[in-house]
């Protein structure tokens, strides 16, 4: 039920879809079991971060069980009209929803944020950042390595050192949190796009809850991961604001310490909300990080957050999800925080016909891997199976889904941190592939 503190919502309509991703290592067949319905049998201690060269993403599914929408009744067949021309296909009006990339070239560097508490939860972190003009003598396209010899090559980003960052800063810091059993670069199209629009984006592998952990049987209990994840994000923020941090020393001077946001997909969407609401379970208590000034949740899993925790959220928020998502269905994973939280401003975008994996790069992986020699068949088969969830002809074209996701996220963050203007309702009131609500 909608809380009494919520104002009436303005609503505009529109349609969509997109993709998903699961990969397995060449030598072992990983399980595609639902993280929402399956918990590891033992609470294996978190492993140190597996090297990037041996990682492989699996589905970024929800950490908590949620309802799946009931099957809708099949439409009754009707007689086709006789001697009439077929209707013209609907097309979206000429509207600027194309901020896939901004004005900056993008650099990528992989770093390690060490566990200074004496534990073994070192965090492997990818950092995307705006490049300065002519800052790389010989640009090399960045490769996101799945297993040795199998990778996805970015069409826009370059491997770079922190010294190549643009001098236009300081820039806002955005921390991205991957889904359960995923990896830090699982949605590089999105993280690269944010960086190209003038943001430093840092994405940690959540040790104990990555694709590598799932394959190596080092994945920890979901309750441990739920507690670890927001603490991981806080550790990343600490590192990027600490001038004495060895790992981030080249970035700290380019980060605006008063401009921090968190974004994430699925379990990472839960993580984004938890950063603003706080979270507690039998493992421990996480106190909301007051440095976080905005959140962007993508197909979030929110069952682990109480109504009171959601009600405590006051910072600006944007949530985007797919109407055909059966892993973290919009109801209740979006409707509940949308109704309960006190975020101001608050925005919601429903992508019509999009699915859970729409917010990953599986379609790009499916297209790119055939260009590599000797890709293990198990990887090809797994990606092909995952692509059924979002890369089919009746799904929203991936380019359109990316444009919607990246545009709304970039303009939302610009409105919070740069004095920009958020997408307005009248800009999309004739779009046929999304529903936009604002308050």
pLDDT digits (tens, 9 = 90+) for 34-72: 333 333 333 333 333 333 443 444 444 444 444 434 444
pLDDT given at position 99: 59
pLDDT given at position 215: 79
* Angstrom distances, CA of residue 118 to CA of 114, 158, 289: 9, 34, 22
Whether the per-residue pLDDT at 433 is higher than 70: the answer is yes
Contact 128, 106 (CB under 8 A): yes
Other residues' Cβ atoms within 10 Å of the Cβ of residue 28: 12
Least confident of 32-36, 266-270, 356-360, 432-436: 32-36
Q: Report residue 58 as tokens.
A: 């699996």
The per-residue DSSP string of 278-312 comes to: -EE-SS-EE---TTEEEEEEES---TTS-HHHHHT
From CA 53, how far away is CA 211, in angstroms rounded? 12
pLDDT given at position 274: 98
* Angstrom distances, CA of residue 138 to CA of 101, 128, 141, 159, 274: 22, 18, 10, 10, 41
State the average pLDDT over residues 328-354. Answer: 97
Closest of 328, 341, 342, 351 to residue 409, by C-alpha: 351
State the average pLDDT over residues 252-268. Answer: 98
Q: For residue 424, give the 3-state DSSP assignment.
A: coil
Contact 232, 209 (CB under 8 A): no
The residue to which tokens 């589905």 are assigned: 59
Residue 96: pLDDT band (50, 70, 90) is low
Domain ranges of the chain: 10-26+46-62+96-438
pLDDT given at position 53: 40
* Angstrom distances, CA of residue 309 to CA of 69, 176, 266: 25, 21, 18
Whether the per-residue pLDDT at 21 is higher than 70: the answer is no
State the average pLDDT over residues 326-330. Answer: 93
Model confidence pLDDT, tens digit, residues 195-210: 999 999 999 999 999 9
| Helix 222-241, helix 267-277: angle, nearest 10 | 60
Give, as one character, the DSSP assignment of residue 327: S
Whether the per-residue pLDDT at 252 is higher than 90: the answer is yes
Least confident of 30-44, 104-118, 160-174, 279-293: 30-44
The DSSP bridge pattern shows strands 292-298 and 317-322 to be parallel
Q: Which residue has the higher pLDDT, 212 or 302?
A: 302
Contact 309, 339 (CB under 8 A): no
Other residues' Cβ atoms within 10 Å of the Cβ of residue 104: 20
pLDDT given at position 198: 97
Other residues' Cβ atoms within 10 Å of the Cβ of residue 34: 14
State the average pLDDT over residues 23-31. Answer: 31
Contact 223, 46 (CB under 8 A): no
* Angstrom distances, CA of residue 291 to CA of 144, 172, 237, 240, 352: 30, 12, 9, 12, 34
Whether the per-residue pLDDT at 418 is higher than 80: the answer is yes
Whether the per-residue pLDDT at 29 is higher than 50: the answer is no
Q: 259 Cβ partners below 8 Å, 6+ apart? A: 170, 171, 172, 173, 293, 417
Closest of 370, 434, 386 to residue 407, by C-alpha: 434
Q: Give whichever of 80-94, 214-228, 383-397 has the largest mean pLDDT.
A: 214-228
Contact 260, 175 (CB under 8 A): yes
pLDDT given at position 84: 45
Residue 98: pLDDT band (50, 70, 90) is low
Q: pLDDT averaged over the chain?
A: 82
The residue to which tokens 């236009």 are assigned: 168
Give kind and range of the element (H or E) at residue 386.
helix 377-387
Contact 63, 24 (CB under 8 A): no
pLDDT given at position 419: 97
Q: Report residue 406 as tokens.
A: 């990246």
pLDDT given at position 163: 94
Contact 124, 46 (CB under 8 A): no
Give the rounded percent of residues in the chain with a pLDDT score beyond 90.
Answer: 65
State the average pLDDT over residues 290-319. Answer: 97
The separation between the first and the last C-alpha atoms of the chain, rounded to the nearest angstrom, is 17
Closest of 109, 205, 100 to residue 160, by C-alpha: 109
10-26+46-62+96-438, CATH topology level:
Rossmann fold (3.40.50)
State the average pLDDT over residues 393-403. Answer: 90
Residue 387: pLDDT band (50, 70, 90) is confident
Least confident of 54-68, 142-156, 158-172: 54-68
Contact 264, 298 (CB under 8 A): yes
pLDDT given at position 58: 41
Other residues' Cβ atoms within 10 Å of the Cβ of residue 94: 5
Provide the whole-model pTM: 0.80
Contact 290, 257 (CB under 8 A): no
State the average pLDDT over residues 20-47. Answer: 33
């Amino acid at each position: 039920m909608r809380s009494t503190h919520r104002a009436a919502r303005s609503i505009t309509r529109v349609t969509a879809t997109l993709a998903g991703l699961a990969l397995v290592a060449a030598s072992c067949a990983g399980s595609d079991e639902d993280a929402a319905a399956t918990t590891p049998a033992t609470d294996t201690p978190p492993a140190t971060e597996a090297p990037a060269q041996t990682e492989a993403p699996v589905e970024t599914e929800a950490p908590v069980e949620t309802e799946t929408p009931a099957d809708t009744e099949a439409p009754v067949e009707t007689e086709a009209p006789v001697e009439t021309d077929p209707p013209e296909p609907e097309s979206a009006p000429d509207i600027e929803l194309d901020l896939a990339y901004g004005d900056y070239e993008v650099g990528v560097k992989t770093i390690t944020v060490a566990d200074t508490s004496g534990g073994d939860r070192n965090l492997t972190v990818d950092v995307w950042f705006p490049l300065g003009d002519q800052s790389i003598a010989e640009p090399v396209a960045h490769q996101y390595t799945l297993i040795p010899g199998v990778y996805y090559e970015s069409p826009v980003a370059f491997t770079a050192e922190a010294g190549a960052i643009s001098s236009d800063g300081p820039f806002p810091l955005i921390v991205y949190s991957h889904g359960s059993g995923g990896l830090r670069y699982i949605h590089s199209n999105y993280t690269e796009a944010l960086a190209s629009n003038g943001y430093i984006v840092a994405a940690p592998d959540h040790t104990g809850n990555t694709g590598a952990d799932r394959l190596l049987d080092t994945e920890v209990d979901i309750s441990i991961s739920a507690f670890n994840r927001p603490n991981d994000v806080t550790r990343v923020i600490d590192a990027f604001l600490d001038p004495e941090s060895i790992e981030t020393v080249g970035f700290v001077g380019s980060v605006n310490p008063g401009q921090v946001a968190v974004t994430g997909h699925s379990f990472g969407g839960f993580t984004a909300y938890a950063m603003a609401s706080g979270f507690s379970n039998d493992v421990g208590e996480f106190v909301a990080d007051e440095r976080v000034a905005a959140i962007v949740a993508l197909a979030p899993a929110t069952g682990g957050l109480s109504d009171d925790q959601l009600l405590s959220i006051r910072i600006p928020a944007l949530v985007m999800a797919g109407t055909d998502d059966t892993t973290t269905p919009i109801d209740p994973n979006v409707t509940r925080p949308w109704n309960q939280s006190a975020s101001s401003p608050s925005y919601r975008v429903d992508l019509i016909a999009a699915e859970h994996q729409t917010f990953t790069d599986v379609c790009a992986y499916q297209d790119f891997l055939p260009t590599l020699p000797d890709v293990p068949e198990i990887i090809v088969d797994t990606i092909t199976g995952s692509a059924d969830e979002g890369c089919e002809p009746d799904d929203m074209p991936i380019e359109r889904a990316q444009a919607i996701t990246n545009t709304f996220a970039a303009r939302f963050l610009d409105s919070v941190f740069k004095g920009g203007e958020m997408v307005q309702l009248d800009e999309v009131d004739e779009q046929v592939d999304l529903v936009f609500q604002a308050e």
